[in-house]
């Protein structure tokens, strides 16, 4: 069974829990650093990135989240969560976790259209899926190892870099769980690879002791 955590300090938490459970994985709302140890992957939900950052500092999450990333476990940032993952944020905003090689711009789609739905093609995930954008950021620039998964009006709105997945929109607000499933599959692969490596380590240890 794959266990997915949803950072539960602020934002669209419950909707992600429902989406993960619909995919048949176990969902845990993460409110303390200790809970990170139980997870195979972590979702950083949408909400308000500056508020989330304040809470991450208050509850001492910053270093543990960087360690979680360093352990190779997948992380999925949606909307504000994407901003938390980015290595660079436009307009001199403070960088938060700085894990994914992208530059993001906040509130990119203008005041008049605070929220809207669009039909997107998401590479490797869906030929057509409805995406809900709410005061959404977009990816202005992506490093060479970043795979661009979706664009809307020429702007990058979904991308993957190794263990990191990010999107500008809210996949948890529709009934379409394909992107959530895609992330869970990333977590399954990462878990299997870690287990294989542990097996190899044990065999090497046995060889050495013989
Ligand atoms: N505008 C928000 C921010 O900058 C993100 C909005 C969202 O997550 N729906 O953090």
Predicted local confidence at residue 210, as pLDDT: 57
In angstroms, rounded to a whole number, what is the distance separating the alpha carbons of residues 196 and 210?
A: 21
On whether 135 is known to bind a ligand per the annotation, the reply is yes
Active-site entry in 23, 79, 167, 187? 79
| C-beta of residue 163 within 8 angstroms of C-beta of residue 146 | no
In angstroms, rounded to a whole number, what is the distance separating the alpha carbons of residues 167 and 86?
A: 11
| 109 CB neighbour count, 10 Å cutoff | 22
What are φ and ψ of residue 16, in 5° steps?
-70, -40
Best residue among 55, 97, 135 to mutate for probing ligand 1's pocket (most ligand atoms within 8 Å of CB) is 135
The residue with greater pLDDT, 94 or 154, is 154
Q: Tell me, in angstroms, the distance from the centre of ligand 1 to residue 191's CA.
A: 30
In angstroms, rounded to a whole number, what is the distance separating the alpha carbons of residues 170 and 176?
A: 11
Q: What is the pLDDT of residues 11-45, one digit of tens each?
A: 999 999 999 999 999 999 999 999 999 999 999 99
The DSSP secondary-structure symbol of 33 reads: G
Predicted local confidence at residue 127, as pLDDT: 97
Q: Is 170 a catalytic residue?
A: yes
On whether 48 is known to bind a ligand per the annotation, the reply is yes
Q: Is 141 a catalytic residue?
A: no
Predicted local confidence at residue 201, as pLDDT: 75
Mean pLDDT of 170-197: 95
How many residues in total does the chain contain? 210
Q: Tell me, in angstroms, the distance from the centre of ligand 1 to residue 49's CA.
A: 6
Q: What is the pLDDT of residues 110-158, one digit of tens each?
A: 765 689 999 999 999 999 999 999 999 999 999 999 999 999 999 999 9
- Stated pTM of the model: 0.94
Instruction: Verify whether ligand 1 is closer than 6 Å to residue 90 (CB atom).
Output: no
Instruction: Verify whether ligand 1 is closer than 6 Å to residue 176 (CB atom).
Output: no
Q: Tell me, in angstroms, the distance from the centre of ligand 1 to residue 47's CA.
A: 5
3-state helix, strand, coil in the chain (%, to 5): 35, 30, 30
Best residue among 80, 81, 138 to mutate for probing ligand 1's pocket (most ligand atoms within 8 Å of CB) is 80
Q: What is the pLDDT of residues 46-82, one digit of tens each?
A: 999 999 999 999 999 999 999 999 999 999 999 999 9
Structure confidence at residue 206 as a pLDDT band (50, 70, 90): low
- The torsion defined by the Cα of 77, 146, 114 and 15, in degrees rounded to 10, comes to -30
| C-beta of residue 45 within 8 angstroms of C-beta of residue 13 | yes
Predicted local confidence at residue 113, as pLDDT: 66
Mean pLDDT of 181-198: 93
**Helix spans in the chain (H):** 13-22, 49-58, 62-70, 80-85, 178-209
Instruction: Verify whether ligand 1 is closer than 6 Å to residue 106 (CB atom).
Output: yes
Question: Is pLDDT of 104 > 70?
Answer: yes
Q: Is 23 a catalytic residue?
A: no
What burial letters (b/e) apply to 127-148, b meaning 16+ CB within 10 Å? Answer: eebebbbbbbbbbbebeeebee
Q: Tell me, in angstroms, the distance from the centre of ligand 1 to residue 207's CA.
A: 52
In angstroms, rounded to a whole number, what is the distance separating the alpha carbons of residues 76 and 40?
A: 12
- Which domains are seen in the chain, by residue range? 3-209 (3.40.50.880)
């Amino acid at each position: 069974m794959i266990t997915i955590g949803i950072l539960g300090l602020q934002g669209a938490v419950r909707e992600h829990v429902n989406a993960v459970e619909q995919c048949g994985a176990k969902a845990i709302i993460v409110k303390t650093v200790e809970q990170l140890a139980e997870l195979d992957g972590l979702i950083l939900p949408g909400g308000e990135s500056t508020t989330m950052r304040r809470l991450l500092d208050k509850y001492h999450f910053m270093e543990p989240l960087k360690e979680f990333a360093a352990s190779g476990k997948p992380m999925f940032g949606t909307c504000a969560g994407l901003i938390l993952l980015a290595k660079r944020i436009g307009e001199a905003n403070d960088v938060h976790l700085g894990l994914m090689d992208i530059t993001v711009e906040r509130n990119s789609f203008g005041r008049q259209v605070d929220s809207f739905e669009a039909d997107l093609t998401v590479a490797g995930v869906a030929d057509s899926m409805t995406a809900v954008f709410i005061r959404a950021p977009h990816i202005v620039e992506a490093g060479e190892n970043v795979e661009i998964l979706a664009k809307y009006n020429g702007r990058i709105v979904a991308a993957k870099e190794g263990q990191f997945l990010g999107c500008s929109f809210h996949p948890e607000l529709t009934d379409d769980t394909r992107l959530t499933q895609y992330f869970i599959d990333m977590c399954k692969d990462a878990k299997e690879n870690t287990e294989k490596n542990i097996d190899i380590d044990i065999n090497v240890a046995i060889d050495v002791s013989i």
